[in-house]
Amino acid sequence: MSDFIPLSIPNLSENELDYVIDAIKSGWISTSGGRIAEFEKKLARYLKVDKISAIQSGTAGLHLAMLLADVRNGDEVIVPTLTFIAAVNPVKYVGAEPIFMDCDNYLCLDVVKVAEFCEKECDFIDNQLINRSTKKHIKAIVAVHIFGNMVDMHMLTKLAYKYDLKIIEDATEALGSYYRETGEFAGTIGDFGIYSFNGNKIITTGGGGAITARDSKMVDRAQYLANQAKDDDIAFVHREIGYNYRITNLQAVIGIAQLEQLEKFIAIKEQNYDLYRAAGLNLLNFQGNIRSNKWFYSLVTDRKDELIKSLKENSIQSRPIWKLIHTLEPYKKCQSYKIEKAIEFWEKIVNIPCGIGLVEKDIRRIIGVIA
Ligand SMILES: *Cc1c(COP(=O)(O)O)cnc(C)c1O
């Protein structure tokens, strides 16, 4: 039996352990401790934003973004169907309803179709985009940057401006991706940007996330809500309902060590992707106008199930892309608009190993099995 090749596992081989030991020795392991602010500062510098708040998860960040975008009970939010469910559930957390959209050739939200939907299926009355079929106010769009690609933010920004919509960028899979021309990073273009440091993401803190916003006052608000909406440390005064969405110092130090490695990780992702491509594997392209973090590789095949099975028999982990959210139990009664491409991709894509730890020998073995 050959060695098991996982889809993607964390690489914690540099300063992670030392920093964790230091944190434990210092006693600062919980939600206070100076290294949280240090992590935030370093992350903000990398992303070229004024401010970012590190929090407990990407999902928590998306929930905070819904609250800050003033999405409420009875509102609607445009979301992609091809994504991880955590991008959609926060719409429901605040009592709103999602409207599901198709994807483009890079698996990201199809902005052309979103524009068509706004144009043909909605009315713009008193600065509010009203869904004609439900009479509800569409307040925001969740733009998920799938697998390291980017939603067409240029077009989306124009559309959001035209219809007064807030853009919530789910950049949980795209930390490090940016537009080559402008240098703008995924997650820093819309009204809100969310990152995740879950174990499977390009960098990890075990679990964790971050939220940034175009208006840095919104980042302060996010931090406030994430910290139980506490106004006063001594008297415990709270003016509103908050959440415990804070990151811990112990997670932050892992984040600092991981951030030191991020560019190296991306270079390895690129190299491995190129090795697969050079062997003739039919991997989906990443967009040419962005420097992608190349987080996940998508193999296009007509024999998905067969391929997953034979990879498994050879101790190689792979997986299909997510079952489309508009077909899942909690969402199947929701509105969806002309979903076509996402169905095609769902039928044909297998994600193959893309971990930082892959060596050329593994890649040759994977290529051999696929061939
Ligand atoms: C991972 C992920 C999330 C959630 O991040 P967590 O930190 O695990 O809560 C949200 N959206 C997408 C697209 C993701 O891949």
pLDDT in tens, 171-221: 999 999 999 999 999 999 999 999 999 999 999 999 999 999 999 999 999
What percent of the chain is predicted at pLDDT more than 90?
96
Outline where 111-226 has alpha helix (H): 111-121, 153-163, 216-226
State which ligand 1 atom lies nearest to the alpha carbon of 208.
Answer: 7
Mean pLDDT of the 6-28 span: 96
Q: Which amino acid is at 99?
A: I
Around Cβ 101, how many Cβ atoms within 10 Å? 24
Architecture of the domain delimited by 262-370: Alpha-Beta Complex (3.90)
Length of the chain: 371
Mapped onto helix, strand or coil, the DSSP state of residue 192 is strand
What is the band of 331 on the pLDDT scale with cuts at 50, 70, 90?
very high
- Give the dihedral sign, CA 71/93/41/143: negative
Which residues, 6+ apart, have CB-to-CB distance to 61 below 8 Å?
A: 55, 194, 195, 196, 209, 210, 211, 222, 245
**Which residues of the chain form beta strands (DSSP E)?**
52-55, 76-80, 97-101, 122-125, 128-131, 137-144, 166-170, 178-179, 192-196, 209-213, 230-232, 237-238, 290-291, 297-300, 319-320, 335-336, 349-352
| Residue of 297 and 234 predicted with greater confidence | 297
Q: What is the pLDDT of residue 236?
A: 87
CB-based pocket (< 6 A), ligand 1: 57-59, 83-84, 86-87, 144, 170, 172-173, 196, 198, 209
Q: What is the pLDDT of residue 1?
A: 56
Query: Which residue reads 């469910």 in tokens?
Result: 85
C-alpha 145/C-alpha 108 separation (Å) is 6
What is the band of 234 on the pLDDT scale with cuts at 50, 70, 90?
confident
pLDDT tens track for 78-128: 999 999 999 999 999 999 999 999 999 999 999 999 999 999 999 999 999
State which ligand 1 atom lies nearest to the alpha carbon of 86.
Answer: 10
Domain limits of the chain?
A: 16-259, 262-370
Structure tokens at 289: 């106008």
Query: Which among 79, 144, 149, 172 is the best mutation to test ligand 1's pocket, defined by most ligand atoms within 8 Å of the CB?
Result: 172
What is the β-pairing status of strands 335-336 and 97-101?
Answer: parallel
Phi and psi, residue 108, nearest 5°: -95, 160
What is the band of 33 on the pLDDT scale with cuts at 50, 70, 90?
confident
Say whether 262-370 and 16-259 share the same fold. no
Which residues, 6+ apart, have CB-to-CB distance to 305 below 8 Å?
A: none
Q: In the 8-state DSSP scheme, what is residue 31? A: S
Q: How far is the CA of 279 from the centre of ligand 1 (A)?
A: 31
State which ligand 1 atom lies nearest to the alpha carbon of 57.
Answer: 7
Query: Which residue reads 């030392």 in tokens?
Result: 18
Residue nearest to ligand 1 atom 5, measured at CA: 58
Q: In the 8-state DSSP scheme, what is residue 185? A: B
What is the distance, to the nearest Å, from the Cα of residue 190 to the centroid of all Cα atoms in its chain? 13
Structure tokens at 147: 């697998």
Query: Which among 62, 151, 170 is the best mutation to test ligand 1's pocket, defined by most ligand atoms within 8 Å of the CB?
Result: 170
> What is the overall mean pLDDT for the chain?
97
Q: How far is the CA of 94 from the centre of ligand 1 (A)?
A: 18
Q: How far is the CA of 252 from the centre of ligand 1 (A)?
A: 18
What is the band of 233 on the pLDDT scale with cuts at 50, 70, 90?
confident
C-alpha 188/C-alpha 222 separation (Å) is 15
C-alpha 131/C-alpha 74 separation (Å) is 12
Q: How far is the CA of 369 from the centre of ligand 1 (A)?
A: 30
State which ligand 1 atom lies nearest to the alpha carbon of 83.
Answer: 13
Mapped onto helix, strand or coil, the DSSP state of residue 309 is helix
Q: How far is the CA of 86 from the centre of ligand 1 (A)?
A: 6
Query: Which among 173, 200, 258 is the best mutation to test ligand 1's pocket, defined by most ligand atoms within 8 Å of the CB?
Result: 173
Q: How far is the CA of 5 from the centre of ligand 1 (A)?
A: 23
Domain range 16-259, its CATH number among 3.40.50.300, 3.40.50.180, 2.40.50.140, 3.40.640.10: 3.40.640.10
Nearest in space to 294 (alpha carbons), one of 156, 186, 182, 211:
186
pLDDT tens track for 299-324: 999 999 999 999 999 999 999 999 99
Residue nearest to ligand 1 atom 2, measured at CA: 172
Q: Enumerate the β-bridge partners of residue 244.
A: 227
CA distances for 283 relative to 58, 227, 348, 361, angstroms: 27, 43, 11, 19
Q: How far is the CA of 329 from the centre of ligand 1 (A)?
A: 20
Q: How far is the CA of 361 from the centre of ligand 1 (A)?
A: 31
